[in-house]
Amino acid sequence: MKTLRLTVLLFASLFSICFQFSPVHAQAGSPIMRGSMTSQDGSTEKLYTKRSFHSESQLFQVYSHDTNWKDVSDGGLHTYLVWVKNISNTDQGIYFYRSQRIPAGWTSSVCWGSNCFAASDDSESATIHPGDSLLLTLDMTAAFNDVPDSGKVWMRIGVLNSIPDTVQLSFYSAFIPHNPPLIFQWAAGSKFQYVFNGAGSHSMTNYLENHGGVATNFKFTIQDSLPEGWSRTLCIVSQSKTTCANGDTVSYVFPDFPSGTYHGEGTYRERVRIMLQSSSLVRKDSAVFHLAIKPKTTNPLDSANYRFVAIVNTHTFANDSVLSFTGGEPQEFSYPFNNLCTIRKTYSFSLLTGTLPQGWSIRYSVADSSPVGSDVRHVFDSLGFQTVKFTLQAPSVTQSDTVMFTLIARDADNPGDSSVYPMMAIAEPQNAVSVKTEDNVGIVVTNAWPNPVYGASKLNLDVLTDRDAPAAAEIYDMAGSSMATVDLGLLHRGENAVQIGALSLPSGQYIIRVEQAGASSEIVKVNYIR
């Protein structure tokens, strides 16, 4: 009987211990207890999965959040939004506490309203006035990998010095490799065609980014098709050293994806450079390179091949292919001819007109040089330009008449490097001449990099336009509100490379549009991470 009594007492003691509750902070990510507890005033309160209610402190409400799950497979910035409202009658200090279980190389950060905090800052607070709301944002960026992965972040939101009034939310991020599942990408997008200014040494560069969570050994193999007398060298260039290929192959260990702010070249990207040495040109020529990139990963498909093209030229001539004019008085048309070489160059010009209609005349000059016979020779400064001017005249006409003529430009030191520019002149009756409008102005942003932009890094834009005029970049948030206008200066006809300096913008996604002379480019989306 004594044995039975001791057994019952022992069982009762264990039962009492198991169900005794002592108030402690639950660690984020641990299971939330379900059950009940008895407070000091004798009332009974229930514990729920997301919130502990207390009769004295229902002070705030999480009344809206957009989603608990996102696909982060593109490696860009993804944002979860949570609105927190003060439902009390007094100012409340509301805090967040973040804990996470995310793969190596992934980063997350939090913003309270317009105040954003470093990725290492797990807890901050803000004061919310009665009836007001504040937006809590969780930003997540995944690192590229060759296998599926996922991350989870817990956000605990509560009132300062009020333990029971607490909400805990969970956010999930999923990463699924692309097909092919590359763990790297180019910073400058698809910029694999380069135009150079004549014979000599030229550099073809692009930045390769390792988006893996760990440092990875990359193997580069190059094959080429080069004109006779040309040569090339493949190098990987970092801040501290340059590693060049011994033959056709070079290996290089790329650092892992950044765990914090991007600090410039050498953090997780390196410059891949193809040095091209071209001999004296006998004609315009080009070289083609095939670059294979194979990181040492467990996935044999995690590799890619890229085609680079180098086109070597010495000059450009911007002209209209059709010149429309009225008969009677002489009319002039002027266009710039550009020396692309970094040395002074002499160019020779010829004009071929064929048989002109009766009474027609076409004359031309280059800067202050007029032709001797049919040819003009003129010296151009380094990277300089001069104006080629055409003077057309035809007798008064009652119906349209047309003639074809051709300007030929040659490098005087290398006659084989020549270009042929065909044009058409149309003489029309004075009341039938079409008026040229601005409707055909065109501008396009061909590339924006790096994307995302980290910290104080500069955003590079490659802009293609069809005229010389000042331009500006308009920056909007995703709601369409204007955030900044950046003066890009004078953009010239053709390709332009411009930079936008560090912007004081909160982390998030933004829209950029370039405007020039009444024309607007298509929008470009850019992620900005502080």
* CATH number of 379's domain: 2.60.40.2310
**Predicted pLDDT of residue 479:** 63
Same domain, 196 and 320: no
**97-127 core/surface letters (b: 16 or more CB in 10 A; e: else):** bbbbebeebbbbbbbbeeebbebeeeebeee
Instruction: State the Cα–Cα distance between residues 113 and 81, nearest whole angstrom.
Output: 11
Is the Cα torsion angle 161, 164, 166, 172 positive or negative in sign?
positive
**Mean pLDDT value across residues 87-112:** 89
pLDDT tens string 190-230? 556 776 766 778 888 888 887 776 778 889 999 888 888 88
> Across all residues in the chain, what is the average pLDDT?
75
The whole domain housing 129 covers 33-175
* Boundary of a domain, candidates 175, 207, 236: 175
**Predicted pLDDT of residue 431:** 54
Which residues does 444 contact at the CB level (< 8 Å), separation at least 6?
A: 463, 464, 465, 521, 522
**Predicted pLDDT of residue 214:** 73
Cβ–Cβ under 8 Å, residues 329 and 368:
no
Same domain, 416 and 327: yes
pLDDT confidence band for 49 (50 / 70 / 90): very low
Cβ–Cβ under 8 Å, residues 200 and 277:
yes
Q: Name the helix (H) or strand (E) containing 471.
A: strand 469-477
Q: Is residue 17 part of a domain?
A: no
pLDDT tens string 487-496? 999 988 777 8
Residue 386, phi then psi, degrees to nearest 5: -135, 160
Q: Is residue 367 part of a domain?
A: yes
pLDDT confidence band for 128 (50 / 70 / 90): very high
* Boundary of a domain, candidates 436, 461, 481: 436
**CA dist 445 → 406, 436, 523 (Å):** 32, 25, 8
**Predicted pLDDT of residue 2:** 40
- Residues 319/323/328/332 CA torsion (nearest 10 deg): -10
Which residues does 8 contact at the CB level (< 8 Å), separation at least 6?
A: none
Q: How many domains does the chain have?
A: 4
pLDDT tens string 433-444? 343 433 344 687
Q: Name the helix (H) or strand (E) containing 236.
A: strand 231-237
Question: Residue 261 has which token pair?
Answer: 């702010």
pLDDT exceeds cutoff 80 at 333: yes
Same domain, 113 and 188: no
Same domain, 54 and 146: yes
Which residues does 55 contact at the CB level (< 8 Å), separation at least 6?
A: 43, 45
Instruction: State the Cα–Cα distance between residues 270 and 289, nearest whole angstrom.
Output: 19
Q: Is residue 18 part of a domain?
A: no
- Which candidate, 528, 529, 511, places its Cα nearest to that of 445? 511
Instruction: State the Cα–Cα distance between residues 339 and 247, nearest whole angstrom.
Output: 35
pLDDT exceeds cutoff 60 at 286: yes
**Mean pLDDT value across residues 438-455:** 68
Which residues does 519 contact at the CB level (< 8 Å), separation at least 6?
A: 438, 441, 442, 443, 465
Same domain, 55 and 155: yes
Same domain, 298 and 322: no
More confident residue, 408 or 446: 408
pTM confidence score: 0.36
Which segment of 260-269, 280-289, 322-331 scores lowest on mean pLDDT?
Answer: 260-269
Instruction: State the Cα–Cα distance between residues 235 and 246, nearest whole angstrom.
Output: 10
Q: Is residue 9 part of a domain?
A: no
Same domain, 299 and 344: no
**353-364 core/surface letters (b: 16 or more CB in 10 A; e: else):** beeeeeebebeb
pLDDT confidence band for 321 (50 / 70 / 90): low
